[in-house]
Amino acid sequence: MVMVLDKEKLDQKQLEKVAAAARLLKEGGIVAFPTETVYGLGVDATNTDAVRKVYEIKQRPTDHPLIVHIGHITQLDYWAQEIPEAAWLLARHFWPGPLTLILRRSPHIPDCVTGGQDTVGIRLPAHPVALKLLNMIGPNKAIAAPSANLYGRISPTTAAHVSATLNNKIDMILDGGSCKVGLESTIISFEHGTVFLLRPGGIPVSAIELVLNKPVISHKSKAPVTRVPGALPSHYAPTTPLQLFHLPELIQTANKLAAQNLHTVVITWSEINSSQLSAPNIQHVRMSRDPVHYGQHLYALLHRYDQAPYNYILMETPPELPAWLAISDRLQRASYAHL
């Protein structure tokens, strides 16, 4: 069942749909819901059976923890404890928004949410439907939600992306339109006064550093994906092989594959002369040079071309600039398995 919602203002009918979703969550159901980053696959964070079902449906290893979504900043110290001042500062500044804080978990968080770790990821999302849903599930409740995709695949930024793979496996999909940010939240952790970046995302590191007035350390060895023993860095990947190239090599490769009768889609942020990619079995897509705009459309584009009958998705390597960090991270993971 897909419920369509106009995300900007919720009228009575839409509120009823969110209320129905809240009821389902309270009964242990699984509801896909929109956030400003990507769609989440939500369950009551305190219902261990429902949490286990999410892992099963996603085919995700159980030691790969879920983010707990809260509806108000005042709920932070119910779900977490020993919260450093820097975390409060970031929460006050960026919430609601695409920022996840890794904090010491409180006893209210079940083991299965955190994969047995003593920390929990917490986020207050900015989407009006998500906020309404969170406020309707009742006091001392939160929504544990991974992105609403199968493990290792591209995150969904529309309800249609969710229903394409999960429609029959979950109880409801709340449709709140296309996600505004389009990339997952930035994940930050705190240790002995140092602030670490675990996953680049919707909030640029520079904005976080500005608020904290100190550097954020990129802690590669602590990146979320390496917390899973034996996990491949391949993640956020389309099923069509995706490769990254700088411009001259990108054009050469596309033309070479075209000569072998292979169909490729070439995605660039640079302007290129169309005569350089003239074979009929090459489709060229030009994306924005603005990383915010590029990030908004990236997953939708990958979903679209992954479903189309192309042999390869060839992408121009993103600029090596801080504002492109989240995009570079996702594209490197998407292409890893095929290098």
The footprint of Mg ion (CB under 5 A) covers: 147
Minimum CB distance to Mg ion smaller for 7 or for 58: 58
Strand partners, 244: 315
198 to 237: interface string for ligand TXA, x by CB under 6 A:
x-------------------------xx-x----------
Give how many residues touch ligand TXA by CB under 6 A.
28
With CB under 6 A as the contact rule, the residue among 90, 102, 277, 300 that binds ligand TXA is: 102
161 binds ligand TXA (CB under 6 A): no
CB of 312 to ligand TXA, least distance (A): 26
Classify residue 319 as exposed, middle or buried by CB count within 10 Å of its CB (0-12, 13-18, 19+): middle
User: Which residue among 14, 47, 75, 119 contacts ligand TXA (CB under 6 A)?
Assistant: 119
Using the minimum distance from each CB to Mg ion, give the nearer residue, 40 or 291: 40
Instruction: Kindly report the number of other CB atoms within 10 A of residue 270's CB atom.
Output: 12
Q: Which is nearer to Mg ion, 75 or 185 (CB)?
A: 185
Is position 117 an interface residue for ligand TXA (rule: CB under 6 A)? yes
Is residue 154 at the binding interface for ligand TXA, with CB under 6 A as the rule?
no
Q: How far is the CB of 55 from ligand TXA (least distance, A)?
A: 10
Shortest distance in whole angstroms from residue 151 CB to ligand TXA: 9
From the list 71-79, 132-140, 143-151, 320-328, the region that binds ligand TXA by CB under 6 A is 143-151
Residue window 56-95: x/- pattern of binding to ligand TXA, with contact defined by CB under 6 A? --------xxxx----------------------------
Selected from 44, 175, 184, 316, the binder of ligand TXA by CB under 6 A is 184
Residue from the set 14, 35, 75, 158 that interacts with ligand TXA by CB under 6 A: 35
**Measured from the CB atom, is 47 or 268 closer to ligand TXA?**
47
> Using H for helix, E for strand and C for coil, what is the string for the chain?
CEEECCCCCCCHHHHHHHHHHHHHHHCCCCEEECCCCCCEEEEECCCHHHHHHHHHHHCCCCCCCCEEECCCHHHHHHHEECCCHHHHHHHHHHCCCCEEEEEEECCCCCHHHHCCCCEEEEECCCCHHHHHHHHHCCCCCCEEECECCCCCECCCCCHHHHHHHHHHHCCEEEECCCCCCCCCCEEEEEECCEEEEEECCCCCHHHHHHHHCCCCEECHHHCHHHHCCCCCCCCCECCCCEEEECHHHHHHHHHHHHHCCCCEEEEECCCCCHHHHCCCCEEEEECCCCHHHHHHHHHHHHHHHHHCCCCEEEEECCCCCHHHHHHHHHHHHHHHHHC
What are the residues binding ligand TXA (CB under 6 A)?
Answer: 35, 37-38, 40, 64-67, 98, 100, 102, 114, 117, 119-121, 123, 125, 145-147, 184-185, 187, 198, 224-225, 227
